[in-house]
Structure 1
Amino acid sequence: MKWLPHARRLAHQVVRPESRWHDAVARVPRHQFVPRWWEQEGHGWVLRTGPDDPDAWLEAAYSDQSLVTQVDTHHADRADTGDVLADGTPTSSSTLPSLVVRMYRHAMIGDGHQLLVTTGTGYGTALACARLGEEHVTSIDIDEHLVKLAADRLALLGEHPRMEVCDITGPLPGEYDRIVATVSVRPIPVSWLKTLRTGGRFVTTISGTGLILTADKTADGGAVGRIEWDRAGFMPTRHGDSYDSPADDIWKGAAQDEGEEIFTSRYPLLYPPDAWDVMSMLELQLPGIQYRKTQDGDTRTVWLLYPDGSWARATATGFLESPVVHQSGPRRLWSDLERIRNRLNREGALPVYGARVTITPDGTTTLTRGAWKATL
């Protein structure tokens, strides 16, 4: 299969020619790391098998898009041809190449640095090996199946980095100059501070937000950094085969109940994941908040669900009508959302992006910008 022209086209698309990451993207065969993937159709997922349609395989693998390789516990490599899933939550994927490169560039990786990365399909690990050399790369994942698959596919390219089955939030193997996590975390794992050399840097995203956090380890064992003027969202770390869904029970009541409070919002209907700065502010205040939405013709409904039993439901018909809000529970979630929108309207921006970050040796992480402060 003539994949090199596709890889070169992708490299020109996602990184400038003078970058040292350009050559890595241009010569790593991404399709070998994603022979099968799940593609969403409606609320369900359809299995795509690359060798069955080589042209579609090349088109998907060398497009700047994420490819979902696992939904709940259903890994594409273990699925049968023609499988369809009625629904499910993505639990592993091949991250879009431009974002992998952006995360590496935020890490400011230099020649000779020892780098720890998360495995996933192994494509990001392959890029790191192509750029630094296999002896400088350690790749970890909590899923033994993913680690073995990635190691086998890397070996076909002649790359043999250190591969470990490991929870990135727990003790880590070795010492590193850089850690790049293409999964999101909250809080910052103390193990990162322990395994980084002084002056070393880590790059990650905060769970449930669009915030990229970069920080450099200080001599006291803590770290200082910032929230980058950039955005990204990754799947959160998981500690088993799939994710818990604490809001599922809340959903049963939130779907139709009248709630304890009903009012008409002053703002147009908003699905927070469509506005990353708003979503990030809400997540920092209410870690673990979940969202759902439906549309029936011109009628749209958005739900906010929180593990303490709080919920809010807002429904609007058309884009000009103000939504009617029903909410209940210990927290008034839609009111929390509207306070954030009030601040955005009043100040013209929210303080999350560009915030200064300080991390103590025990992992306590504080974001500050002006008078605003948030602690993870």
Structure 2
Amino acid sequence: MNWKDHALDLADRVTHRTSRWRGPVSYTPRHLFVPQWWEREGEQWTLREPLTDTDWYAAVYDDRSLITRVGALHADRAKSGDHPTGRPTSSATLPSLVVRMLDHARIDDGDELLDVGTGSGYGAALAAQGLGDASVTSVDVDPYLVEAARERLDLAGLHPTLEVVDATGPLPARRGKFDRIVATVAVRSVPESWLAALCVGGRLVTTIAGTSLLVTAEKRADGSAVGRVEWDRAGFMHARRGDDYPPGATSLLATAHDLDGEDVMTSPYPVVDVANAWDLDSMLGITTPGIEHSYRENGERRTAEMAHADGSWARAVTADDGRTVVHQGGPRRLWEILDSLRAYWLQHGELPVRGVQVLITPEGQTRLARGKWRAVL
């Protein structure tokens, strides 16, 4: 099979037959945008350098995200034997998610689109294929990503506008207001500049950092935007302001399994893999942002750990008698915060974050409301 066969097969899997994005997926050469990437092998990141076109096409035309940058090291600039440390800082997003984000934008012919988070450039390529070069602007904080994407887009015969921009600051506005903004990086609260760059009636699609919550909102004449958290789910890396993310709680998380807690308690709830309990993780990400998680199983024994950069940590273990024994330390009791959310869930039948109403003020404050529940980001 050549790459066009793979791309057509990918389009069959990630779009419906009347989708405006079916054509762009079927004739966009994704392999140009991801020549090599990082894969997790055991406890370390290892460079994946496909030796044949068969291996290359099978990986890049699969519907999955490919990590292209870990810490400050991009896979393009790496060599065999490199094993970077830190968090993933850029990726080629799985195609079905790119398509879903564009679908949520409800793009019409003639709309001007701002793509926040150029990354590999594949999303900008799909947008340019579907809307035309002149209707697409894509921005990223990373100068190398922007330049590499520009070169690869050129190889694909595409020439949208690309700029190096910190998306949390002022956005490009030389072409006037944008009709649609689609962000494939996550933000805690929508930056003021995003609403300033959006035209009245324009639609914003983004995600809340540290959650799987996907927000859509439309701008009003008073400069605010109203919308909701969709029932769909999406997760993206946090918007970076520099070359790498600031230090988090990773080192504390790594030692949490050996610490004796200042408090030891028994939880009424079983040990849970929080990061994969999406609604619970999202609720925790709203109320107590910045927690990092680990989870492992050994037979019937389950262990979950939580850590925060403020020094708070928790470890929950399934004891031999089936009880959940929790050790905690630091300024906050993280597992008790988690248990309070699980108690809310049992009391009310659901967590309120999915489907919540959203108001974004002109100053960039994001307010969430559902029934009596409120949160301000």
Normalised TM-score (structure 2): 0.95
Contact 1:33 1:121 in 2 (8 A): yes
Cα distance in 2 for residues equivalent to 1:294 and 1:349: 26
| Map of 1:44 onto structure 2 | 44
Contact 1:37 1:69 in 2 (8 A): yes
Tell me the amino acid that sits aligned with residue 304 of structure 2: V
Tell me the amino acid that sits aligned with residue 88 of structure 1: G
Does residue 170 in structure 1 map to residue 164 in structure 2? no
| Map of 1:105 onto structure 2 | 103
| Map of 1:375 onto structure 2 | 376
| Map of 2:224 onto structure 1 | 222
Alignment of 1:17-96 (within 5 A): 17-50=17-50, 52-80=51-79, 82-85=80-83, 87-96=85-94
Cα distance in 1 for residues equivalent to 2:93 and 2:134: 23
Tell me the amino acid that sits aligned with residue 91 of structure 2: S
| Map of 2:351 onto structure 1 | 350
The verdict on how the C-alpha distance between 1:252 and 1:211 changes in structure 2, with shifts beyond 3 A counting, is: closer
Show structure 2 runs of 5+ residues with no match.
none
| Map of 1:187 onto structure 2 | 189
Greater mean deviation of Cα atoms: 52-61 or 228-237: 52-61
Cα distance in 2 for residues equivalent to 1:144 and 1:364: 29
Cα distance in 2 for residues equivalent to 1:84 and 1:347: 49
- CA RMSD between the two structures: 1.7
Tell me the amino acid that sits aligned with residue 173 of structure 1: P
Cα distance in 2 for residues equivalent to 1:87 and 1:301: 24
Aligned to 1:353, the other structure's residue is in SS state: coil
| Map of 2:128 onto structure 1 | 129
Cα distance in 2 for residues equivalent to 1:64 and 1:259: 42
Show structure 1 runs of 5+ residues with no match.
none
Calculate percent identity across the aligned residue pairs.
Answer: 52
Offset at 1:48? 1.3
Tell me the amino acid that sits aligned with residue 188 of structure 1: V
Aligned to 2:258, the other structure's residue is in SS state: coil
Cα distance in 1 for residues equivalent to 2:164 and 2:96: 26
Cα distance in 1 for residues equivalent to 2:352 and 2:153: 41
* Residues 309-344 of structure 1 deviation map (CA, whole Å, 9 limit, x = unaligned): 2211112268x8232100122221101101111122
| Map of 2:146 onto structure 1 | 147
Offset at 1:254? 3.1
| Map of 1:308 onto structure 2 | 310
The verdict on how the C-alpha distance between 1:358 and 1:208 changes in structure 2, with shifts beyond 3 A counting, is: same
Matched positions, count: 373
| Map of 2:7 onto structure 1 | 7
Normalised TM-score (structure 1): 0.95
Cα distance in 2 for residues equivalent to 1:86 and 1:134: 35
Cα distance in 2 for residues equivalent to 1:359 and 1:111: 26
Aligned to 1:314, the other structure's residue is in SS state: strand
Aligned to 1:85, the other structure's residue is in SS state: coil
Cα distance in 2 for residues equivalent to 1:45 and 1:307: 23
| Map of 1:269 onto structure 2 | 271
| Map of 1:285 onto structure 2 | 287
Greater mean deviation of Cα atoms: 298-307 or 59-68: 298-307
Residue from 173, 197, 200 that aligns with 2:199: 197
